[in-house]
Chains A and B, each alone.
Chain A
């Protein structure tokens, strides 16, 4: 592929990583499926991580929690299993509205080899259909930040009913409003059967089968795709729906895969694109020529870099990504400008040295690094905001750009004399 000729070798780093673990995805997954509960089997650290990453605590009783392992659980697995059954029993008795229970593995539960699949089986048998129990791992020794979603979704795949019916399956959580909007746009193009995974109700699972074509809303769902492919689904190659260009190409790829009338598709997309570009224009003026450094965090870095360069005119200093999935990035990488320096993995101290040396105008980074970088004089944008905000789709392109323009605007606004 063209990639190797235009992009310099990827900088591979293996030092300290400053990235959350996969447990973090519970923060958006539990909101997506309000009838599900996420029970982490882990330590006090795991509980504290989710609480701190969530940042706000507004729920009466959140739909996630941690079964904190104690010394006794470590002493004997038999007891640990018994204890887990007890905790789950108490939880389900207290929260009868739960329809799906995700048992989420953590580093400690993985290291002591607590078999959560067996536990799920056991509890399923006992609950006799009152609730469905599935399991996956969000541990930090195996998953980063957004990858947690790619653990959760495959755990649902075996439960999907089979159907050969032609359908478009959108894979990866989108904000509710954005999702509704894309469904209505697809309908206007003539594509009626479009379903999301994860669904909004954990029990309203979409079917899957040879008629299913997958369109990825998020770039971190590789395992989910593989699991769905094993059930006969096929992935539609497309860039990710960030920015006008990405979103149009994303919808167009789906339309083409279903052989929709190109005329009709263009009638829907063209005015959208035109409007989206118009909305972007003032933001482009703000961002144009500004130098951007993306630290590895959400796995959205490559599509974001593509958008911010091609549609907002930003210069890319370095594009970090927790891991580089060439297959899922195949449509994105060729859109990056020649010479873009990609880095995979992290050695945070060295990377910060590169930030200091290159003096970018804007740094995209995790919450632990933002204020220290601001104090060193760099404008920053938290990557976690990108997974919590509605940023996908043509209509959101300007909002997305605005997220990056705001820190720059703010610096211009503030005066001290």
Chain B
């Protein structure tokens, strides 16, 4: 038993829903009580989908439990098949139905429905959403491709067969789903990128695919494992059984996109990509090199996301923007090894956790200047007064923008530059702030156009004004006796632009308490400043 307040991932059947809802022609019958229908809103509200996810719930009640819930399951399956006429059916159960053991999958199997039926067993008490998505995607493809698997020992076609077949090379783009981060835009970006290199797209799945498309998966010369949380197991299975090689580099960021192209081209036997392609196609390299960006040097960033985006963010932050990564972690236990390796490279220990309070604490301790996280970290960062950009699911409706905003490829790098640097600076260049900080515009009360831009921890948040914040900020108060700000200290502090004032206050206090100083004067503040700006 584990106490959870907010969760990063839903139960595994929500992962299965993500697969079904991402595809066309698939329907999912879920043996579950009525409350579980809440999951529809994840799609219709957060993703703003214009249709309900293709899911039929049995919504059994307590009074059904004495009687025949199996009958209810069969009735629901039959009705769903009649009404929606899917090309393939997923059948499974949520946590409660798992306990009553009606085995909806085998019930469906015995109904002679005349369409492919995939029975999902997703252990609700030990697994979570991403695992459920990966397992569902894999089981669905395995079920549909059962008859195509070559006999063991049979010759596997090589990734360069396209030459012999007199066509362009083609690849599968695997893993994009609804409720993933910017998947729709990533696919558009990648299609363009591949087209530029003379590579065709065989199938994109699950997003937008039909079961008949999945039947064509083995026709690809290579599989691109773009979101390993979802596509990892399927890619491995296709590799083992069909011999399709996998490119596992996720093309997020300049370096990773270039590496991805090199790997893919060499795998397919294409000419290596041109060296200066990144500079030609993306603005990130130049923007990052430009003199204006020197203020980004050494910015302390804290990263927590799903494994794919956390690893990508760490690479971009440290190598392409010149930030200092002060914390790296993920809630994706399945990919913990990769995250740990990425952290180690940066001299850090990865935080693998799904307890957002633990993450928040690590964040506070790391004292970052920018947080890259999920919507949970956005909240933690807001409370700590640290700017934040969301880089990964779980998302909120505002993380599904109307505009084209991919993360992958050259344009993705542009989007990342803008969306990370913007919250950091809130529209003001730091060197200007430094130069003008004693001017009256930067004194309290003269900042109307920026009002509210800072996030004082004690302010009630907009929509629920009577909700008092319940936890005092995590910033340390020294043991045995409070810190006191002298008048000169306070006066100096008040001259600091309000949106960095919180940070300066915390840093100064931390500095003072570390040194056993109990009175903070103007001088202490400057000593702390000197200390922290080493």
Residue numbers of A with Cβ under 8 A of B are 15-24, 31, 34, 39, 42-49, 51-53, 55-74, 80, 83-84, 86-87, 90-91, 107-108, 110-112, 139-142, 144, 176, 349, 366-372, 374-375
Mark out the residues of chain B between 341 and 399 whose CB falls within 8 Å of any chain A CB in the assembled complex: 357, 375-376, 379, 383
| Chain B residues, CB < 8 A from A57 | 6, 375-376, 379
Set A49, A63, A73, A366: member contacting B36, Cβ < 8 A = A49
Task: Let me know if B3 is at the binding interface, CB within 8 A.
Answer: yes
**B49 at interface by CB-CB < 8 Å:** yes
Q: Chain B, 1-44, contact with A by CB distance < 8 Å: what is the 0/1 string?
A: 11111110111011000000000000000000111111111101
CA distance A64 to B7 in the complex (A): 13
CB nearest to B95 among chain A residues: A43
A84 vs B14: C-alpha distance in the bound complex, in angstroms? 26
Docked-complex contact A107 and B6, CB < 8 angstroms? no
| Contact across chains for B36 and A45 when beta carbons are under 8 A apart | yes
Interface centre among A58, A64, A70 (most CB of B within 10 A): A58
Question: Is B1 a contact of A73 with CB atoms below 8 Å?
Answer: yes
In the complex, B125 has a CB within 8 A of chain A: yes
Q: B403 in the interface, Cβ–Cβ < 8 Å?
A: no
**Inter-chain contacts of B4 with A (CB < 8 A):** 44, 47, 65-68
Question: How far, in angstroms, from A17 to B37 measured CA to CA in the complex?
Answer: 8
A20 touches B35 (CB 8 A): yes
Q: Is the CB of B6 within 8 A of A62?
A: yes
Within the complex, the shortest CB–CB distance from B86 to chain A, in Å, comes to 14
Instruction: Select B35's contact among A23, A63, A112, beta carbons within 8 Å.
Output: A23
Q: Lowest 10 CB-CB distances: which A-B pairs, in order? A: A21-B35, A140-B35, A368-B40, A375-B50, A140-B33, A43-B95, A60-B471, A83-B1, A107-B96, A48-B10
In the assembled complex, the CB of A297 is this many whole angstroms from the nearest CB of chain B, namely: 11
**Complex CA–CA separation, A73 to B125 (angstroms):** 9
Smallest CB separation, A100 vs chain B (Å): 16
Chain A minimum-CB-distance residue to B48: A371
Does A86 lie within 8 Å of B95, measured CB to CB? no
Indicate if B260 sits at the interface (CB-CB under 8 A).
no
Known: A60-B470, A372-B51. A21 touches B34 (CB 8 A): yes
Closest residue of A by beta carbon distance from B471: A60
Chain B contacts for A17, CB-based, 8 A: 34, 37, 57, 59
What are 6 A-B residue pairs whose CB atoms fall within 8 Å in the complex?
Answer: A16-B37, A44-B124, A53-B38, A72-B1, A73-B1, A111-B99
Which residues of the partner chain B approach A141 to less than 8 Å between Cβ atoms?
33, 60-62, 65, 96
Q: Does B115 contact A (CB under 8 A)?
A: no
Check A108 against B99 for contact (C-beta < 8 Å). yes
- Find the residue from A55, A60, A67, A366 having the highest chain B CB count within 10 A: A60
Of B151-159, B207-215, B294-302, B459-467, which binds chain A? B459-467
Residue in A47, A65, A108, A369 whose CB lies within 8 Å of B44: A369
Q: Does B56 contact A (CB under 8 A)?
A: yes
**How many Å lie between the Cα of A19 and that of B44 in the bound state?**
15
A16-B76, A45-B10, A367-B44 known; A375 vs B51 contact (CB < 8 Å)? yes
Q: Which residues of B contact A (CB under 8 A)?
A: 1-7, 9-11, 13-14, 33-42, 44-45, 48-52, 56-62, 65, 76, 79, 83, 94-96, 99-100, 123-126, 128, 357, 375-376, 379, 383, 461, 463-464, 466-471
Q: How far is the CB of A111 from chain B (nearest CB, A)?
A: 5
Task: Give Cα distance in the complex from A127 to B83, angstroms.
Answer: 55
Residue of A nearest to B127 (CB): A44
Do B376 and A44 touch across chains, with their CB atoms under 8 A apart?
A: no
User: Is the Cβ of A368 less than 8 Å from the Cβ of B41?
Assistant: yes
Among residues of A, the one whose C-beta sits closest to the C-beta of B94 is: A45
Say whether A368 contacts B1, CB under 8 Å: no
CA distance A44 to B126 in the complex (A): 10
Q: Which residues of A sit under 8 angstroms from B62, Cβ to Cβ?
A: 110, 139, 141-142
A45 touching B124, Cβ below 8 Å? yes
Q: Determine if B33 and A139 form an interchain contact, defined as CB atoms under 8 angstroms apart.
A: yes
Query: Is A48 touching B14 in the complex (CB atoms < 8 A)?
Result: yes
- Residue ID in chain B nearest A52 by CB atoms: B38
CA distance A19 to B36 in the complex (A): 9
> B33: which of A21, A62, A66, A74 is its contact (CB, 8 Å)?
A21
Q: Which residue of A lies closest to B12 (CB)?
A: A44
Contact between chains at B7 and A60 (CB < 8 Å): no
CB contacts (< 8 Å) of B2 on chain A: these are: 67-68, 70, 87
Q: How many A-B Cβ pairs are below 8 Å?
A: 205
- The CA-CA distance from A31 to B125 in the complex, in Å, is 29
Among B59, B463, B467, chain A packs the most CB atoms within 10 A around the CB of B59
A70 touches B1 (CB 8 A): yes
A60 to B376, CA, bound (A): 11
B461, A51: Cβ atoms closer than 8 Å: no
- In the complex, A42 Cα to B5 Cα: how many Å? 12
Instruction: Name the A residues within 8 Å of B83 (CB-CB).
Output: 349
For B467, what are the chain A residues with a Cβ–Cβ distance below 8 Å?
31, 58-59
Residues of A close to B48: CB separation below 8 A: 371
Query: Are A16 and B59 neighbours in the complex by a CB distance under 8 Å?
Result: yes
Q: Which of A19, A53, A65, A366 contacts B3 (CB 8 A)?
A: A65
- Which chain A positions have C-beta within 8 A of B79? 15, 349
How far in angstroms is the closest Cβ of chain B from A71? 5
Query: How many angstroms from the CA of A51 to the CA of B354 in the assembled complex?
Result: 15
A367 touches B128 (CB 8 A): no
Shortest Cβ distance from residue A229 to the other chain B in the assembled complex, whole angstroms: 24
Report the minimal beta-carbon distance from A73 to chain B, rounded to whole angstroms: 5
Contacts of A65 in B (CB 8 A): 3-5
A368/B33 in contact, CB under 8 A:
no
B273 CB → nearest A CB, Å: 42
A49 to B126, CA, bound (A): 18
Residues of A near B469 (CB, < 8 A) are 59-60
Nearest Cβ distance between residue A299 and chain B, in whole angstroms?
14
**Which B residues are CB-close (under 8 A) to A142?**
61-62
In contact, A70 and B379 (Cβ under 8 angstroms): no
Asked whether A62 lies within 8 Å of B34 as measured between CB atoms, the reply is no
B222 to A: closest C-beta gap in Å: 35
Task: Tell me, in angstroms, the Cα distance from A110 to B124 when the chains sit together.
Answer: 16
A61 near B35 with CB under 8 A, answer: no
Cα separation A34 to B470 with both chains bound (whole Å): 10
Q: Are A61 and B50 in contact (CB under 8 A)?
A: no
Complex Cα distance, B501 from A16, in Å, reads 54
Is A43 within 8 A of B11, CB to CB? yes
Task: Give the Cβ gap from B249 to chain A, nearest Cβ, in Å.
Answer: 32
Nearest CB in chain A to that of B75: its residue: A15
The answer to whether residues A48 and B11 also contact, given A61-B471, A69-B125 and a CB cut-off of 8 A, is yes
- B7 CB contact (under 8 Å) in A48, A73, A367: A48
Which residue of chain B lies nearest to A175 when distances are taken between CB atoms in the complex?
Answer: B466
Residues A18 and B50 in contact, CB atoms below 8 Å apart: no
Chain B residues closer than 8 Å to A39, beta-carbon distance: 3
Residues of B close to A62: CB separation below 8 A? 5-6
Closest to B464 in A: A58
**Closest Cβ–Cβ distance, residue A227 to chain B (whole Å):** 20
Give every chain B residue within 8 A of A23 (Cβ-Cβ). Answer: 35
Chain A residues positioned under 8 Å from B65 (CB to CB): 111, 141
Q: Report yes or no: B124 in contact with A52, Cβ–Cβ below 8 A.
A: no
A87 to B34 alpha-carbon distance, docked (Å): 27
The answer for the CA separation of A176 and B466 in the assembled complex, in Å, is 10
Q: How far is the CA of A84 from the CA of B3 in the complex (A)?
A: 9
Q: How far is the CB of A81 from chain B (nearest CB, A)?
A: 10
**Extra contacts besides A51-B7, A107-B35 (17): CB < 8 Å:** A18-B34, A31-B464, A43-B96, A44-B11, A45-B13, A47-B7, A49-B35, A57-B375, A64-B5, A73-B125, A108-B95, A144-B34, A349-B83, A368-B45, A369-B44, A370-B45, A371-B50
Of B56, B96, B128, which one neighbours A16 at CB under 8 angstroms? B56
Closest to B61 in A: A141
Verify A70–B37 contact, CB threshold 8 A. no
Tell me the complex Cα distance, A51–B83, Å: 32
The CA-CA distance from A353 to B467 in the complex, in Å, is 41
Complex contacts, B128 vs chain A, CB 8 Å: 44
Tell me whether B44 and A16 are in contact (CB under 8 A): no
> Please, how many angstroms separate the alpha-carbon atoms of A86 and B123 in the complex?
24
User: Considering the chains assembled together, what is the distance between the CA atoms of A45 and B39 in angstroms?
Assistant: 9
Chain A residue with Cβ nearest B473: A60
